[in-house]
A = this chain, B = another copy of it.
Amino acid sequence: MIYRDNKAEQIKIAYIGGGSRGWAWALMSDLAVCDDLSGDVYLYDIDYESAKNNEIIGNMFNDIEDTRSKWYYHAVETAKEAYENADFVVISIQPGSFEAMASDVHTPEKYGIYQSVGDTTGPGGIVRSMRTVPMFEEIAECIKTYCPDAWVINYTNPMALCVKTLYRVFPEIKAFGCCHEVFQTQDFLREALKDICGIEVAKRRDIKINPVSVNHFTWLTGARYRNLDLFPIYRKFAEKYVAEGYTKGFDSNWRNSAFATSNRIKLDLFLRYGYIAAAGDRHLAEFCEGKWYLADPETVYEWGFALTPISWRLEDLKDRNERSRRLISGEEKLEIQTSGEDGVDQMRSLLGLDSLLTNANIPNVGQIPNLPLGAIVETNAMFHDGAITPVMAGEVPKEIYSMVSRVCAEQEELDRAIAARDVEGIFNVFANDPLVTCSRKDARELFREMVLNTKEYLGMYDLSNI
């Protein structure tokens, strides 16, 4: 990488995963319209063909009129080719097949346990962690070996466990996790401000927030616009819409359309606890007691959100594959669709071309004094000139501390147990999860079944006594 004028050129990005296309194409668009960065993207995916298709599409961006910088895409067959001397590593993998994910999400339904996402917490998130963490151990080893100075951006879930694993294996790593759930809450606050006060706010980033939390169970202890404290305004908004929900103003971005919710849970949690829950309802629900929002499909329906079935994901994947084919064949015209994500701005800021305050998932060095040091927390952090510096987010407030600290403590223990390949320790976390509302005996049966369903990914564990 070199600087020329006020641009950074010859950047090497290693893109790990991405075969599922969505995130990859969004990043391609964002890079294409960024006029002060250029270079090469190396695509590495277990499914080489997917990477190859992405290479073709990626390079097609160079021919679009609106493109402002050149990026050259290269599908590679070995991890080494991707990682070697990379300036940035972007990780967006699918840990295991959708069949595995189907087991994560749907097996618990036999015991009356419903999950709206199943990729972060709950029985699904825990079993997914068992197969994802060892993959991230490998990724961390690659980074340590081939590009120890690279900045590493993770988009994979379970976010906290993935980032934790990177730091556990290679403590000097410069990694962080990105998640757009908080951004949507900023947009939601713009809606509230418009609805209650008639004030139009131009951009999401104009809403200043203070996240104090763990990923996907994110809470804001402050939200401001100019000299306005948004909490009383949001209270009025919540009281107005909690019963019926509020759905206006949300984009129909491919990533979200099937996931749309009425935001009732977000509003309900605010009215109950006094702090702004700042993730999508489908995520928030999974961190609460199982009987609250996810008791059964009727309850889910009442609360105005959806259980995302794996069948939908499979269908969606088919659509994207089909679209990939059309784009490559020229049947569909490739267009730039920027993502609204922070990824490219984060890169620009880390290279010193800008400064950015945004939320990031990084180890706690004291930014949240009442969560354990070293746990992966989500707070604001300053990105600038080769450094990510978290701001002092402050303590998790008493009202929500028992919930947030429990989540964080379970992630810490899950990390310990997975690192030690301690299957009984993992089960203890599983049995203690608030979604696991069945008896302990049933919990054991369920765990056993879920683990055995996905055992092709779990060869590193001794499963003989499971």
Considering the complex of A and B, which 3 residue pairs feature the smallest CB-CB distances, nearest first?
A: A226-B352, A402-B409, A208-B385
Minimum CB–CB distance for A393 against chain B, Å: 8
User: Of the 9-residue stretches A26-34, A46-54, A432-440, which lies at the interface with chain B?
Assistant: A432-440
Q: How far is the CA of A410 from the CA of B416 in the complex (A)?
A: 25
In the complex where A352-B227, A365-B394, A439-B299 touch, is A399 in contact with B382 (Cβ < 8 A)?
no
Q: Are B402 and A406 in contact (CB under 8 A)?
A: yes
Q: How far is the CA of A292 from the CA of B289 in the complex (A)?
A: 15
Q: Is A413 an interface residue (CB 8 A)?
A: yes
Q: Are B289 and A389 in contact (CB under 8 A)?
A: no
- Binary flags per residue of A367-398, CB closer than 8 Å to B gives 1, else 0: 10110100000001010111101111010001
Q: Are A392 and B394 in contact (CB under 8 A)?
A: no
**With a CB–CB cut-off of 8 A, which chain B residues contact A386?**
208, 224, 226-229
User: Of the 9-residue stretches A308-316, A327-335, A423-431, A456-464, which lies at the interface with chain B?
Assistant: A423-431
Identify A365's interface contact among B3, B350, B392, B425, CB under 8 A: B392
Minimum CB–CB distance for A381 against chain B, Å: 8
Name 24 interchain pairs, CB-CB below 8 A, sorted by A. A1-B227, A208-B385, A224-B386, A224-B387, A226-B352, A227-B351, A228-B386, A229-B386, A289-B431, A289-B440, A292-B431, A357-B382, A365-B392, A366-B392, A380-B389, A382-B382, A390-B391, A391-B391, A391-B392, A398-B409, A398-B412, A402-B429, A402-B432, A437-B437
Chain A: interface residue count, which band?
35 or more
Q: Are B431 and A385 in contact (CB under 8 A)?
A: no
Q: Is A403 an interface residue (CB 8 A)?
A: yes
- Binary flags per residue of A348-371, CB closer than 8 Å to B gives 1, else 0: 001111010100000001110110
Q: Is A225 an interface residue (CB 8 A)?
A: yes
Q: How far is the CA of A370 from the CA of B366 in the complex (A)?
A: 11
Closest to A3 in B: B226
A residues near B (Cβ < 8 Å) are 1, 3, 206, 208, 210, 222, 224-229, 272-273, 289, 291-292, 295, 299, 350-353, 355, 357, 365-367, 369-370, 372, 380, 382, 384-387, 389-392, 394, 398-399, 401-403, 405-406, 409-410, 412-413, 416, 424-425, 428-429, 431-432, 436-440, 443
Contacts A210-B387, A226-B351, A291-B437 supplied; 9 other A-B pairs, CB < 8 Å: A224-B384, A227-B385, A227-B386, A229-B386, A366-B367, A392-B392, A399-B416, A402-B413, A405-B405
Minimum CB–CB distance for A415 against chain B, Å: 9
Among A389, A390, A424, A432, max chain B CB count under 10 A is at: A389
Q: Are B389 and A391 in contact (CB under 8 A)?
A: yes
Q: How far is the CA of A295 from the CA of B438 in the complex (A)?
A: 9
**With a CB–CB cut-off of 8 A, which chain B residues contact A437?**
291, 437
**With a CB–CB cut-off of 8 A, which chain B residues contact A443?**
291
Q: Are B382 and A428 in contact (CB under 8 A)?
A: no
Q: How far is the CA of A386 from the CA of B224 in the complex (A)?
A: 7
Q: How far is the CA of A390 from the CA of B222 in the complex (A)?
A: 14
**With a CB–CB cut-off of 8 A, which chain B residues contact A350?**
227
Q: Are A401 and B387 in contact (CB under 8 A)?
A: no
Closest to A290 in B: B437
**With a CB–CB cut-off of 8 A, which chain B residues contact A224?**
352, 384-387
Q: Are A428 and B365 in contact (CB under 8 A)?
A: no
Closest to A415 in B: B398
**With a CB–CB cut-off of 8 A, which chain B residues contact A357?**
355, 357, 382, 384
Q: How far is the CA of A384 from the CA of B205 in the complex (A)?
A: 11
In the complex where A227-B385, A425-B399 touch, is A439 in contact with B409 (Cβ < 8 A)?
no
In the complex where A382-B382, A402-B413 touch, is A432 in contact with B387 (Cβ < 8 A)?
no
Closest to A364 in B: B392
